Amino acid sequence: MAQSDITLADIQKVGQEDAQYLVSLIRSIPNYPKDGILFRDFMPVFADAKALSILMDALEKALPVPVDQIDAIAGLEARGFLFGPAMAARLGKGFIAVRKAGKLPPPVKSASYSLEYGEATIEIESNAVHEGERILIVDDLIATGGSASAARDLVKACGGTVAGFSFVMELDGLNGVASLGDYPTSSLLTMPA
């Protein structure tokens, strides 16, 4: 497990000791899922009650917009599903699933995107977002911004407004946040790609 390459951003929102504890649980796995990719395994954070509590507190404190400017939380499959509903419940908002293609009943809207190691398609139920609803899009990681940009496009295609983006980790040097445009964005941790 290599943590020495992980730097902390927005540390004042988490606290030094808590941030270090979170970072200590993130594994870096080289050449997975294919050669040349450094995979960041965030799953151990969910297996640790203390880390999960720290994470949820930090995400709430680091919201990119005030709570009253959010109507619902949209979480990306798969890890955005693990903390997105808890975040929505804490904020008193509903949760909207943005899933991999073929997982939701019709009618759906679809968007395809490129990722570091291939192509993918995500979907949202056509009636999941109501006209004018302000949606905060959440996920564990932003790399190139492909999946987050596709989720943004889906929310807009359903008539919603993107309130902002919230990520646990940002991979530095891949310009993922820049690819999202001028939307308010927060991430707790910054790590080299």
Report which of 104, 107, 185 is spatially closest to residue 152, judged by C-alpha positions. 185
132: in domain: yes
Q: How many helices (H) and strands (E) does the chain have?
A: 7, 10
Among 13-22, 58-67, 113-122, 157-166, the minimum mean pLDDT is found in: 13-22
Better-predicted residue by pLDDT, 159 or 188 = 159
Distance CA 31, CA 111 (A): 27
1: in domain: no
What's residue 109's pLDDT? 97
2: in domain: no
38: in domain: yes
134: in domain: yes
Position 156 pLDDT exceeds 60 = yes
126: in domain: yes
pLDDT in tens, 20-67: 898 899 999 999 988 888 888 889 999 999 999 999 999 999 999 999
Contacts of 160 (CB under 8 A, 6+ apart): 129, 130, 131, 132, 133, 134, 135
77: in domain: yes
61: in domain: yes
Beta bridge partners of 99: 123
Domain span at residue 82 reads 7-192
How sure is the predictor about 13, in pLDDT bands with cuts at 50, 70 and 90?
low
Which CATH number characterizes residue 20's domain?
3.40.50.2020
